[in-house]
Amino acid sequence: MENAFIYTDAYLDYDYGPTHPLKIIRLKLTYELIQAYGLLPLPSVQLLIPQKADDETLALFHSREYLNTLREASEGRIRDAYPNGLGPGDNPVFKGLYDWSLLVTGATLQACDFVADGKGAIAFNIAGGLHHAQRSRASGFCYVNDPVIGILKLLERGKRVAYIDIDAHHADGVQAAFYETDQVLTISLHESGRTLYPGTGFEDEIGTGRGEGYSVNIPFLPFTDDETYLWAFDEIVPPLIDGFRPDVIVTQLGVDTFYNDPLAKLNVSISGYEKIIRRMKALAPRWVALGGGGYDVSNVARAWTLAWAVMNGVELSDPLPEDYIGKEARLGIYERELRGASKPPRYSPMEVVRKETERVVEYIKKTVFPKVRDTGTPQE
């Protein structure tokens, strides 16, 4: 069974700006490190070049008025007022932002088609996972919500979909899209909205109407470490996936959970991240993997290379390949090992973190677990 990796250097035609934390170069660095480890010429791997999505496909989720605004902004036709969340700050207006969104979403759609067509078991779009975009508003560096659009296309094809998001920031856009339906199970593990953008994703956000119980949130206190994170994952995610029985699992694999990420305050290590990826692989009958957050570019390259290795059953050596060291040296990060041995700082009493996580897990077990039977259908 083949796996697909989706990438193009055309991603580098777009730029959020020199001071923006989302650096598109991280995609190139990831691709180069994967190449350096020999993870693309594997006989079980296809390299797919993304094709842009079309306007009609984006309109499956986004309003046409909003898409028109994005197009006008992308072409420089909006100069004064910036509506719909666009403007200086998180969601800057830059040349080609609409084409960037079409390209990223097209790559996610290719990943979904690859697994839905039975061409392979796993497809990885590292540029995807822009999970904050709302129907008519840009949010959190995200203009078009490619996970939502990909899931909607999978639903059109009769697939049952579970979505698992391990970004440090709550998957609010994806949750909003499916909050009232039982056709998609959304699970988001993230830093608490009390301390981090977007200020949502509390454990009592469990869906409404037919969707009650199909929206699941595990908010973590700052400085949650590998042990507590993995414990919560194991207590909640596998039982829900076993009960829901999806045909496809879509995941957002943000690496801003790492202890040295500049925009969040969780304490996950790269070895802890690897264990999460291995758990996802074991759970997924078919797997669409998307990128996501991560604002230390070295972390992103190492983590997504490691994830791709796990997806393909390859064990990586710890030292970076020699022909990659020069590229890392120019970034001033060549001295770090792939898996990282540094222990995260413990600024918060870990017993407090663990106790709060146990409370959240117990709440989910009492309120969410009873909503889904073993057949994956909602309770009558």
- Give Cα 144 to chain centroid, integer Å: 14
Contact 228, 197 (CB under 8 A): no
Q: How many residues does the chain have?
A: 380
Give rounded-to-5 percent helix, strand, coil for the chain: 40, 15, 45
Contact 170, 201 (CB under 8 A): yes
Give the residue among 64, 73, 106, 72 at the shortest CA–CA distance from 91: 73
Residue 309 CA: distances (Å) to CA of 5, 37, 38, 124: 11, 9, 10, 11
Radius of gyration of the chain (CA): 20
**Measured CA distances, 168 to 86, 196, 287 (Å):** 23, 8, 21
User: Which stretches within 224-266 are classed as H helix?
Assistant: 226-244
Residues with catalytic roles:
132
CA atoms of 40 and 45, how far apart (whole Å) = 6
Strands (E), 301-380: none
Could you give the C-alpha distances from 134 to 128, 143, 278, 335, in angstroms and in order?
15, 8, 30, 40
Q: What angle do CA 135, 262, 260 make, to 5 degrees?
A: 125
Q: What are the residues whose beta carbons fall under 8 Å from the beta carbon of 109, sequence distance 6 or more?
A: 53, 57, 149, 150, 153
